[in-house]
Amino acid sequence: MDFRLVFKLFLVCLLGEVLMAEGLACNWGTRVTHPLPPDIAVKLMKDNGIDKVKLFEVVPDVMGALGNSGIQVMVGIPNDMLASLASSVRVAEDWVTQNVSRYVSRNGVDIRYVAIGNEPFLKTYKDMFTQTIYPALENIQAALIKAGLGRQVKVTIPINADVYQSDSGMPSGGNFRPDIHGLMISIVKFLSDNGGPLTINIYPFLSLYADPHFPVDFAFFDGAAAPVVDGGVTYGNVFEANYDTLVWSLEKNGFPNLPIIVGEVGWPTDGDVNANIENARRFNQGLLNRINQGKGTPKRASPPDIYLFALIDEDAKSTEPGNFERHWGIFYYDGSIKYPLNLANNKNLTAAKGVQYLSRQWCVMRPDADPSDPNLPQSINKACTYADCTSLGYGSSCGGLDVRNNASYAFNMYFQTMNQTKGSCDQFSNLSVITSIDPSTRIRGGACRFEIMIDIGKGGKTRKPTTSSAGRMYNSIFASSFLLGLLAFVS
């Protein structure tokens, strides 16, 4: 079993009184065509007891909404900024002034961490960031100190689980990857010297996605899996084993007490045969239960801060890792509830309030149109080039539609993404028509939702979905000797 296989542990917005932390933590991504208004998103978090949030980049209206909210914030710096930040302390100082000091002093944003880069050591990056990540870390730390924020705001680097491995296939064999071992030790020492935590992203779902022979139950927390025994320690799930592999890696290199944050962890609900409502609820409820119980891992009894991935779906994210990338939210893109979750103190999820939608109308295939029309394939292709059709994929929530409904879904996503503008339903060779009858349907016992988008107003701007990635990539779907060794052991 590949333990690096990202078991991204980003705690589903955890509510209320948690023994490990004083509230829930979640990631809030903004790669969406029709963003949930920031003030509504902040209210959504507060209504669900979420008092910590991780952002991947600084977005002014998002930061404004977080001002004086009581929510602690981790702000991210994208990888493509590392080179400039590494080049000069002055550049780092300017960034801190504009993106940290400004919001702390003028808007009352409670910024606690700056996350420098995101998973910069993924092998798919081919060492693109290995020369710039450490000097960027140093310069941002120096800039925070100069701004008088060195005690309040700590630096961290979110890493993927593929930075460590185990030759034995067991957590106790964990150590940092040989090619970046020296650099990782320098980073860890710097964080330790400056009071910063190391942030790790763990994704059991990706273990299953990458290897069809992965023992499915070992991805979950309900004790259904055959345990893995490492010496005198028993592991019942891949999350614990993955996390403790990092702890062992730190201990072997002289840093047994370095704080660890789980920056991302969750389970998607669409875009793959294993990405569905049932599995997501099973995983996230199990995760919440162990956090509410104050349960850590065999190596560290107290649970870390865990940021659930993610707050809402993002329909404009890259699909390079897989179609599931757009469906990690515990809420749909508009803040509506996907499935019930029992939070702390037996409280349930609360949906977003005050969301304004476009008109109640859909664009569908004309009833008199011929499904064998030669223009239909290119029309569907056009729609899905500019809109999110990931729910139509094999094993997805709308993957079993017939030809007519499949075309209707694609046409409607285009129509909604284009804000239902005049003529946007007339782009498909006279094969489409607007209807006021909701075409949403049920397939294999599940729901296939035909969306109506949020009304972003006359001044709003939409973002075209990205089908090839130039940005953040969560997948570390690489077969490591550690995962393979453990998988063989489990099997």
Q: Is the pLDDT of residue 17 over 90?
A: no
Question: What average pLDDT does range 429-458 have in this prediction?
Answer: 89
Q: Is the pLDDT of residue 481 over 60?
A: no
Q: Is 300 exposed, middle or buried (0-12, 13-18, 19+ CB in 10 A)?
A: middle
Q: What is the pLDDT of residue 285?
A: 97
Q: What is the pLDDT of residue 380?
A: 98
Which residues are bridge partners to 165 per DSSP? Answer: 175
Q: Is the pLDDT of residue 355 over 70?
A: yes
What tens digit of pLDDT does each residue of 222-246 get? Answer: 999 999 999 999 999 999 999 999 9
Between CA 286 and CA 267 the distance in angstroms is 11
Q: Is the pLDDT of residue 200 over 90?
A: yes
Question: What average pLDDT does range 419-425 have in this prediction?
Answer: 97
Q: Is the pLDDT of residue 20 over 50?
A: no
How many beta carbons lie within 10 A of that of residue 142, not counting itself? 15
Topology of domain 24-353+472-490 in CATH is TIM Barrel (3.20.20)
Q: What is the pLDDT of residue 54?
A: 98
SS3 429: coil
Neighbouring residues of 101: CB distance < 8 A, sequence distance ≥ 6: 147, 149
Q: What is the pLDDT of residue 291?
A: 87
CA distances from 19 to 14, 24, 284, 305, 393 (A): 11, 11, 17, 11, 40
Between CA 60 and CA 214 the distance in angstroms is 42
Closest CA to 367 of 434, 420, 427, 416: 434
- Predicted confidence band of residue 468 (pLDDT cuts 50, 70, 90): very low
Q: What is the pLDDT of residue 471?
A: 31
Number of residues written out for the chain? 491
Q: What is the pLDDT of residue 250?
A: 98
Least confident stretch, 171-175, 208-212, 473-477: 473-477
Q: Is the pLDDT of residue 16 over 60?
A: no
Strands 158-160 and 198-201: parallel
SS3 97: helix
Q: Is the pLDDT of residue 35 over 90?
A: yes
Between CA 105 and CA 115 the distance in angstroms is 20
In angstroms and rounded to an integer, the radius of gyration of the C-alpha atoms of the chain is 23
Q: What is the pLDDT of residue 458?
A: 45
Least confident stretch, 66-75, 190-199, 288-297: 288-297
**Which parts of 315-461 fold into alpha helices (H)?**
376-386, 403-417
Between CA 288 and CA 290 the distance in angstroms is 6
What tens digit of pLDDT does each residue of 297-325 get? Answer: 999 999 899 999 999 999 999 999 999 99
Domain layout of the chain by residue ranges:
24-353+472-490, 362-448
Which residues are bridge partners to 303 per DSSP? Answer: none
Closest CA to 112 of 22, 44, 39, 31: 22
| Higher pLDDT, residue 101 or 18 | 101
Cβ contact 64:99 at 8 Å:
no
Between CA 457 and CA 472 the distance in angstroms is 28
What tens digit of pLDDT does each residue of 387-407 get? Answer: 999 999 999 999 999 999 999
Six-digit token string for 149: 């924020």
**Catalytic residue positions, numbered:** 119, 264
The chain-wide mean pLDDT, for the chain, equals 89
Q: Is the pLDDT of residue 476 over 70?
A: no
Between CA 385 and CA 85 the distance in angstroms is 35
Q: What is the pLDDT of residue 68?
A: 98
What tens digit of pLDDT does each residue of 180-196 get? Answer: 999 999 999 999 999 99
Least confident stretch, 72-86, 223-237, 449-463: 449-463
CA distances from 108 to 25, 70, 245, 300, 483 (A): 19, 9, 38, 34, 44
Between CA 448 and CA 276 the distance in angstroms is 12
pTM of this structure: 0.89
Local structure of residue 28 (DSSP, 8 states): E
Q: What percent of the chain has pLDDT over 90?
A: 84
435 φ/ψ angles, rounded to the nearest 5 degrees = -135, 155
Q: Is the pLDDT of residue 19 over 90?
A: no
Q: What is the pLDDT of residue 442?
A: 78
Between CA 465 and CA 31 the distance in angstroms is 8
